[in-house]
Amino acid sequence: MFRNFKLVPQIIFGRGCFAQLDDIVEKQRATPDSWVVFVVDDVFKGKDLEKRIPAHGKDLLLWVNVKDEPKTAYVDELTLRVKAFAPFLPSAVIGIGGGSSMDLAKAVSLMLTNEGSSTLYQGWDLIKNPAVYHMAVPTLSGTGAEVSRTTVLTGPEKKLGLNSDYTVFDQVMLDPELTKDVPRDQHFYTGMDCYIHCIESLQGTYLNEFSKAYGEKSLDLCREVFLNDHPDSADKLMMASFFGGMSIAYSQVGACHALSYGLSYVLGTHHGIGCCITFDYLDEIYPEGVKEFRTMMKKCGVELPRNLVKNLSDEKIEKW
């Protein structure tokens, strides 16, 4: 069976396009009472971006903290806060931030229209009702969360996404200027998430021309960013992220992601850095990729933490 997947229907790309956010959101305000939720990474509290968020009178600016990656309990709490804000649902949920904030926005938009806890929907196509209109404004490039049909959530029993066609964003706004203040290490880790998506996809069992076309282009862009220091790196990495996400839509991720999920579930290690730590040990599976990854890491002056699982109990290893 071939997968028949849904794509993001509307995309705007370009430096400074964030200025058009108000106009785009306006189209969702069907009645004078309509209101909108902005789900925003709290790293932007007090920063210039905060002043530029087009939240009007009735809107809710919901700051989210992504110190821990998204958990089902947090999604449930945020959903309750949104529901308590007004007697009827918002007409749009706008996620502004990295993969974690975009996933929180996706999850909240789904849980506003689907009863019960988000834990009930961790899996494939368990979501019953369409989400509230939702839009992504990435401020960090690499995860591909802006284009994927999942929102990765850690629950009490498993780390598993809400995978469904309803999860896909209705609109994505790609403004590379928004990534200018990402710390160097984070830029590398999340960028490598994209690089690893491509390596895994291009070596995957489900590879076809669709995945290859996106994966190869994404890989080229990653190389321009991390090996050649291209002056338009921010633009290139934003497109690499998008294309990397498109590539794994068909081909899926591989060994590195499978192992890094365990690291994240047991130790709470964040996705990008977890993938880097794991990938660095996979030279037998991806010899060329790991070699190039190490060159990029050296060039970026990033060092990975070591011996994370040295004193881990058998019980925790088992959980992994």
Residue 252, interface with ligand NAD (CB under 6 A)? no
Q: Which stretch binds Zn ion (CB under 5 A): 35-43, 126-134, 186-194, 240-248?
A: 186-194
Is 99 or 289 the residue whose CB approaches ligand NAD more closely? 99
Query: Interaction with ligand NAD in 17-56: which residues (CB under 6 A)?
Result: 41, 43
Helix (H) or strand (E) holding 92: strand 92-97
In whole angstroms, give the CA distance from residue 176 to residue 179: 6
- Residue from the set 95, 97, 191, 289 that interacts with ligand NAD by CB under 6 A: 97
Residue 193, interface with Zn ion (CB under 5 A)? yes
Residue 100, interface with ligand NAD (CB under 6 A)? yes
Cβ-Cβ contacts under 8 Å for 47 (sequence gap 6 or more):
181
Residue 224 is which amino acid? E
**Order of strands across the sheet with 36-41?**
10-13, 171-174, 134-138, 92-97, 36-41, 60-64
Smallest separation, CB 188 to Zn ion (Å): 14
Query: Interaction with ligand NAD in 162-191: which residues (CB under 6 A)?
Result: 178-179, 181-182, 186, 190
* Cα within 13 Å of Cα(105), Cβ side: 35
Residue 109, interface with ligand NAD (CB under 6 A)? no
Residue 169 carries which DSSP code? -
| Residues 83 and 112: beta-carbon distance below 8 Å | yes
- SS3 per-residue string spanning 163-223: ECHHHCCCEEEECHHHHCCCCHHHHHHHHHHHHHHHHHHHCCCCCCHHHHHHHHHHHHHHH
Q: Which does 297 bind (CB under 5 to 8 A by kind): Zn ion, ligand NAD, none?
A: none
Is 24 or 263 the residue whose CB approaches Zn ion more closely? 263
Site string for ligand NAD, 139-158 (x = CB under 6 A): xx-xxxx--x-xxx------
Residue 69, interface with Zn ion (CB under 5 A)? no
| Residues 214 and 246: beta-carbon distance below 8 Å | yes
Q: Which does 190 bind (CB under 5 to 8 A by kind): Zn ion, ligand NAD, none?
A: ligand NAD
Q: At 30, list the tokens.
A: 């069907």
| Interface with ligand NAD (CB under 6 A) | 41, 43, 66, 69-70, 97-101, 103, 139-140, 142-145, 148, 150-152, 178-179, 181-182, 186, 190, 193, 270-272
| Interface with Zn ion (CB under 5 A) | 193
